[in-house]
Structure 1
Amino acid sequence: LLRECGTIRKVSFLGKRGEKLKFSPFKVDAVLECRWQSDGLHLEMKWVLGDERPIEYQTGIVGTNPYWCEIDNTIYELSNSAAKIASIFVHTSSITVPLEKCGPILEVLRRSEIESSSEIIVLNPEQMPKALVQDPKPVVEFVDISAIQEGKGERIELSATLSFQYTRKEGVVCLPNRAKEEEYEQRLKDLGFYYDPSKRVYVISGDDALDLIWDLRSTLGPQWKVQGLNLVRSTIRFAQLTLRLSISDTNTIEEDGFNCYVTLLQNGAMVPIGSLFKNAAPGAERWVKLDSGAYGRVPGGSLSELRAVLGSLSSTFWMANAIRVKVSSSQGISLRSLKGKPGIEVVASDAFEEALNKILSFRKIKRVPISKKFKGRLRQYQKEGFYWMHFLDELGFGGILADEMGLGKTVQALAHIQSLKDKGVGLPSLVVVPTSIITNWYYEARRFTPDLSVLVLHGPGRKKLFSKIDDYDLVLTTYALVRVDRSVFERHRFYLLVLDEAQNIKNEQASVSQSVKMIPSERRLALTGTPVENRPMDLWSIFDFLMPDYLGSKEYFRKNVEKVLITGGEAGNRVGEYLKRKVRPFILKRTKKEVEKDLPPKVESIVRVEMTPSQRVLYNEILGETRSKVFGEVKKRGIGGASMYILAALLRLRQICNHPRSVNGLQELGDLTSGKFEALKELVTEALESGKKILLYSQFLNMLSIIKDWLESQGVKYVYLDGSTKNRQDIVDAFNTDDSIRVFVISLKAGGFGLNLTAADTVMIYDPWWNPAVEQQASDRAHRIGQTKIVNVYRFVTENSVESHIMDLQERKEKIVDALIDPAASSPLKLSREDLEVIFEVG
C-alpha cells in the first residue's frame, strides 16, 4: 500500500515529520560474519547491497513475509536468505554464543557447502576449536494423555516430546550425533508413535500406547530418560487377566472326548468371560477396558484369536460367564495352541496331554510297513504321506492330502486303502471323483492294488450293482452321481470315504457338498492340491466334511475367521496364524520343488476318461457303420490291401473320441460334448493355477481350433504352431521368454521336432499317437538340456474306444509301434485279424 502513496516520510516517536523515504526495486541480501573468540563464537549480521561492502545492521525488520528493512532512507525487501539470517537478530546486530553451546553451529560451519557460501563468512577459521561427536541421551517427556470414545470402548492417546541431552566438556565443542538421534526417532516410530508437526509432539494411541505404559522402562531401555510418568500413572490403572482352561476326562468309558471348563480371572477373582468383549474398542487387539475402569491385557495377546478359539467352543462366548463344553481330541488342538501364551493357564488330564502331544508331533510318527500286495514303489515323500494317513487313521481323524498336481495323491491313497484291507477292515472304502477321472482311478487301482476288488458305480447300469456294494473293497463313483444316488449310499456304511479333487465341495450350500457329508463312514480323507481356491469358507466346507464342528459353525467361521482374514491388519494376521496352527496336523502338502530330489526327471501319466452320453451314442453309430465296411474289405483284400479303409475308419473314430465337433459336418451341432475335452479343461485350469507353462499337442487341426476357442474364452494367453506356420522361431522365443504366455498349442507332427521349449514344465498329449516315438519326441521338446523343472507328461485316452484298445494292445504286445504304422510309412499295417477285432470292439 505504501508503494501507492505519493510521498512517504519517517515519523519520530514524538510525532515530528522526518526525511522522505523511497522504495528500492532491488532486494537486500545479508551476510553472517563469524569470529571465533576464547569464550565462544561472535556472530554479526550485515546487509549486502549489490557489490558494495557489507553495511552495519542498525534497524529492525518489519512485515510478515515478505520482510522489509530501511537502509539510508530507502526501503528494501529482504531476500529469502536474508530473512532467515535476520530472524536471529531481532533486537541487535550481533550475539556471542558460549563455547559449550556452539556444537550445532559448528556442525553447520563444517559442511563443505558452507565454505563456498557468500552468506556465512568465518573471519578466522584457523581459530576454530576442537570438536568431538558425542552420543546423545534421549529424553522422552509425556505431556498429555486422553481417552477418545470409539463405539462401546475408548482409545487411549498419549503425546510426548523428544529431546537430546549432551555432556558438556570445557574447552571442547560437542557435536550432536545426528545418526543416533535418527535411530531414537525411528525407535519411537517402531513402537507406534507418529510425529505431529503442528504440535511438535509424538503421538501414540490404542494398544501401542497401553503396551508402552505397561512396561515402559523395559520397552524403551535403560539409555532413555523418561519424564512425566506421574501424569500417566495417575490416569491409567491395570488389572491382571488370566484365562483358565480345565480339561478332564469324561466320566464313562463309552463317552468319547474330554470335558472342558473355561473361566476368566481378574486379579485372581472370577469374572464373566463376556467382559473381555463388552467394552472392546474397534481395532483393539491386545487390551480391553474392564467394567472396573482398569485396563487388562488380553490373555494370549490377541482378541481376534481368542474370539476364534472360544467361538469354536460356544456360539454365545461373547456374553458367557463361563464355558462348559465337551470337546473331541481334534478340537483340543485349538486349546493346546494357547498353552504357554501369556495370560493362559491350561490344566489338563494326562490322557488329554498324551493325545494332544501325539497329534502335534505328527512329523515323528512311526513308520509302518507298506503292504506286500501293493504293486508299486513309493518314493520317500509318498511313503511319508502313507505313514501320515495311517497316523490319522489310528487317531480317528480326517485329513487333506494337498500335494501339488503330479505327486501321486491317488497312489498314496490306494496304498493306504490296501493297508486297511490287510489289517482286517471289513467295510468297503468309497472314493468320489470327478467324472473325467473315474476310469483313471479304476486303472490305477488295477495296476497298483490288484488285490482290491473294485466296483465302479457309473453309467446307467450302475443301479444293478447297488446291492453288491458291501461285497467290494473299493467303490468308485462321481460327484454328479453321488447326489443322485444319495439315498443308496446313506443306507450303507463305509470305513473310509475319500473325496478326490475335494475342492468340488467348496460351496457348502451345494447339494453335492451336502450329499457327501451325509454318507456314513468311520474315517474321511480329502485329496486336493487347492484346499482354498477362492475364500477361507472353501477350507471350512472341506473340514466340515472331514471333522464336523472342528472349525466351528458356518456362521461362526464366516464372522470370526473369514471376515477377519479378509479385512487383514494385525487381527487378520493373528487369526491367520491361529488357523494355520489349527489345521496344520491335518493337512499334508508338498510341492514338486520340495521333493524334487525324490522325483524322476520326467513324470508320465495316462489320463483315462469316459465319453459323455451323446458322444457315446455317436461313437457307437459310426463304429457300427465302419466296422462292417472294414471287415468286408479285409475279407476281400486282406489286411494289407484294406489298410486305407482301416486307417480312414480309425481316423474318424479318433476324432469323435477327441470331440464330435472336430468332425467335418458336425461342427454346428452345439449339443455335442466330449468327456476328454472336459478332462482337458480341468487339468489345464489346475496347471495354470499352479503356475505351470503348458505344451498342448493334438494331431487334428479342427481339435486345435476348439482348444484355442476355449483358451480365448478363458482369457488365457497362448501361442500356436502347425505345419503352415512360417515364423516358428519367433513363436518359440516368445513362449520361452514371455511369462504371460502360459500355453503353446501345437500340432503334434509340426511341433514334435526341432523345437527347444524348456520354458514349459507340463506336456499334454490330447490324442495318442500310434508311434510312441513321436510322443517321446514331443515331450522331449520340454524335457531336454536346459530344463530346470520336473516335467509332467499327460496322455489322454478315451475309455472303451479305439484309443483304449490300442493302449491295451501296447501292454500285451511288444513293439506295437510297427503293428499299426511302419515308421517308414511304406509298409501295410502289420495287424492280425484278432488285433482288428480288439481295436474295433463295440464298447
Structure 2
Amino acid sequence: METHVEGRGFGTLIRLYGGSLGSQKLRDTRGTETQSGLPQLDLDWLNETFEDGRAHRYWFLTTYTTLANYQHSLGKVPFSAMVMDEIQNIKNRATLASRAVEAMNADFRIGLTGTPIENAAIDLWTIMDRIAPGCLRSGSYFKEQYAVPDAENMADLHARVFKPRGTVPPLGLRRLKDEVARDLPTKRRYLQPRLMPKVQADAYDLAQIKLANGGPGAALKMLHHIRSVSVHPGDTGATRPDEFIAKSARLDAVMDILRRIKAADERVLVFIEHRDMQFRFAEIVRHFFGLERIDVINGDTPIPRCQEIVNRFQRHLKADGGFDMLILGPKAAGTGLTLTAATHVIHLSRWWNPAVEEQCNDRVHRIGQTRPVAVHIPMALHPELGAQSFDCLLQSLMQRKRKLAEQALWPMGDNNSDVSGLTEAVAAPTRGNHTVLADSMAEQFRRDGLLITSPDADGARELR
C-alpha cells in the first residue's frame, strides 16, 4: 500500500489494525464494539472531508477481525469502494466477520481469492452474496441446485459466474497463474515414497481393522486416525531423535530431503498440521542440522509475532544466510504470507483439500520468486498394500480433485462422497507383497492417468 498508494499520490492511508488502531479510538473507551455494542472509533473528522469533496483522498486498510470488532463505527462511513483480499476468509456467513462485511455501506465491492470454493459450493454463494447480494439467488435455492456437485451443475455454476449474459459482463474474472504470471520460475512436484517400518505398519493394520469393523459414525474418526498413523505411529515416551524418525516412513523421507536442501544451502517451508508434531519436529531438526532456531507459525501465533518471523526469514533475500527452515500449520499460515526466501515446500502432513495445499505452495511460488520451486510430498507405503496404502489413495483423490478444479469450479473440501470412497478403499484393500516401490509407484501413476516418471538418485518421482 505504501508503494502503490502514498508513493503514487493516491491519498492518505489510514491503518486500522494492531497498534495503529489506538489513535482512532474515542477517549476512555475499552474493549471492542462487539463487547459494548456502541461505536468506539472517532471518525467524525471524515465529515469535513466529505463536505470539502476530499473524502476520496483517504484509504482505510484493516483486517476482517478489526472490521468485525468495530463494525458499528465503520458501518456509518459511506465508502466508494470496498476491496476484500482473501475473501474466502468470510465464506462462513454465520461468522461476525462475514456479517460485518455484509453490513458495510459501499457503492462498489471487489473480492479477490485463489480458492472461490475452498470446501463446499455454498462457499461461493456466500462470497458472491457479500460482493453482489442476490446475484446467485437465495441460499436455499443455491443449495438445492449445487449442494451435491456433478459435472453438469458445476459447469452451469461456472457459466453463471464467469460468462457474460448478453451485454452484461460476467460477475467474476478467473485468472490462472500460468496466464498472468508467466515470468514466474518453474514449480515442480515430487512424490517421495518410503516403505513403512514394522512398528508403523502394525499401527496402520490396527487402525485399519477398527475402520473396517466400525460403524458409519466412527468411519471419519478412524480415517483421521489412519491419516495420523501414516505420519507417525505415535510415541508418548522419551525417545531419542533417531529412534523417533526410524518409526516413520514419512519422517525418514523428509530427513533425506532436508539433507539435500542443506547441501545446496537453500531454504524450506515444512507444513505440519498437529501442534505437538510441529514443535517436536523443530527440535529434531535443530538436533540433526545445528540450526540455532526454527520458528513455528500456527493458529496460536499472534499477528505481530508472525510478521517478525516472516521478516527474519525473508532477510535471506538481502543477505543469504544459507540453509534455514520454517514450520507452519497449513490452515493458519497457508494464506496471506510471502516467504519467497524459500525454494522448497514439504508437506509432512496433508489434508484432502488440494486448494489448501496449493495455497501453502503459493507462499513460495508467487510474485517475487526468482528461482525454481520444488514441492515435496513424502509418502508412507505399507509393505503389504503398496499403492493401496492411505497415502497413495489420498494422492489419487487429490489429483482427481485438482484436475476437476482446473476444468471448472469444483468443491475442494471433504464431501461425503470423498470420505465414503476413501473409507471403503482404505478399509478393504487387496493385500500382497508390495515391497518393490517402483511397482507401487507405476500402479499409482497409471491410476491417476499420469506419465510414469523414473525416480531420481534419491528415489523421488516428479509429477508431470
Of Structure 1 and Structure 2, which has the larger fraction of its residues in helix? 2
- Higher normalized contact order (CA 8 Å, seq sep 6+, divided by chain length): 2
Q: Which has the larger radius of gyration?
A: 1
The alignment's TM-score, normalised by the length of structure 1, stands at 0.25
**Higher strand fraction: Structure 1 or Structure 2?**
1
Give TM-score, length-normalised by structure 2: 0.44
